[in-house]
């Protein structure tokens, strides 16, 4: 087990198994794609082809269904292994998207155009551990969104999270005939930061196998995120709680 403030190695190790946090990854992708389609139809009613930059794409939980739905998708992630898996998943499904590694704090340097929407889902932005790092990322987000376009972030509501160490289980999964138990163990360092250790327990033929790796998060409040987005120049900020399994923060670049 290792703790690393840079999440790239955390997600490099998780890339092959990240889908196991979902009971049914394919079904979850379909639900999220449909939810994002409805939301983007509402927020960008005048757009044509609608381009989306996924700044924390991971293995493609949002990028793949958006590409399937006809969006022009550009996918970026800090983890090289996650991007490799995303490319393979897209190829298997006959989907076309642009997937490369990039740090969300400098995501604007990895593209040569602006987009109708930028997304960063699955509580990605709290991997940035200070307000200064968040501000740097939000400035980069602003630069790659077209005037009138939107930024969508899905995050945990840390105001509802107890600052006590805990274990979260996802349920038993089956992988190539073996039973697997993915789980998270949270350890709070202080009121603002905590470490998450992801364990994958595999019921092997001779003895259980245990894999683990650890990353750090900033338990930043939604109010603080909205304030930082405002400072970056975004307007028309709002929070949506019913779209997917996490709150979505919506911010628009002025026209």
- The chain-wide mean pLDDT, for the chain, equals 93
What residue ranges do the domains of the chain occupy? 3-157+220-252, 159-218
At the second CATH level, the architecture of 159-218 is Single Sheet (2.20)
Just give the CATH number of 3-157+220-252: 3.40.50.150
Q: What is the pLDDT of residues 15-25, one digit of tens each?
A: 888 898 898 99
Give the model's pLDDT for residue 10: 87
Residue 5 has pLDDT above 70, yes or no: no
The secondary structure of the chain in percent helix, strand, coil, rounded to multiples of 5, reads 35, 30, 35
CA distance linking residue 167 with residue 162, whole number of Å = 12
- Phi, psi (deg, nearest 5) at residue 242: -110, 5
Confidence of residue 1 (pLDDT cuts 50, 70, 90): very low
Least confident window among 33-42, 139-148, 174-183, 189-198: 174-183
Least confident window among 127-131, 137-141, 202-206: 202-206
- Sequence-ordered list of residues with C-beta below 8 angstroms from that of 139, at least 6 positions apart, any chain: 232
Q: Is the model's pTM score more than 0.85?
A: yes
Q: What is the pLDDT of residues 224-247, one digit of tens each?
A: 999 999 999 999 999 999 888 899
Q: What is the pLDDT of residues 39-63, one digit of tens each?
A: 999 999 876 668 999 999 999 999 9
Give the model's pLDDT for residue 202: 87
Give the model's pLDDT for residue 205: 67
């Amino acid at each position: 087990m290792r703790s690393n403030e840079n999440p790239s190695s955390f997600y490099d190790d998780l890339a092959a198994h990240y889908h196991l946090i979902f009971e049914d990854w394919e079904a979850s992708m379909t639900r999220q794609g449909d939810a994002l389609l409805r939301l983007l139809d509402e927020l960008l009613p005048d757009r044509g082809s609608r381009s989306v930059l996924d700044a924390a794409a991971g293995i493609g939980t949002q990028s793949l269904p958006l590409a399937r739905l006809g969006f022009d998708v550009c996918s970026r992630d800090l983890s090289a292994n996650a991007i490799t898996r995303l490319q393979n998943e897209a190829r298997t499904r006959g989907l076309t998207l642009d997937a490369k590694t990039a740090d969300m704090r400098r995501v604007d340097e990895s593209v040569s155009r602006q987009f109708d929407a930028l997304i960063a889902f699955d509580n990605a932005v709290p991997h940035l551990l200070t307000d200064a790092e968040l501000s740097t990322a939000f400035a980069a987000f602003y630069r790659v969104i077209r005037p009138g376009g939107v930024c969508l972030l899905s995050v945990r509501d840390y105001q509802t999270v107890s600052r006590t160490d805990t274990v979260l289980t996802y349920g038993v999964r089956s992988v190539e005939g073996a039973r697997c138990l993915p789980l998270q163990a949270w350890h709070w360092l202080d009121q603002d930061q905590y470490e998450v250790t992801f364990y994958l327990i595999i019921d092997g033929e001779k003895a259980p196998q245990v894999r683990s790796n650890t990353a750090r998060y900033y338990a930043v409040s939604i109010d603080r995120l909205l304030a930082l987005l405002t400072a970056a120049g975004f307007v028309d900020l709002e929070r949506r709680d019913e779209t997917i399994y996490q709150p979505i923060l919506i911010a628009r670049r002025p026209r």
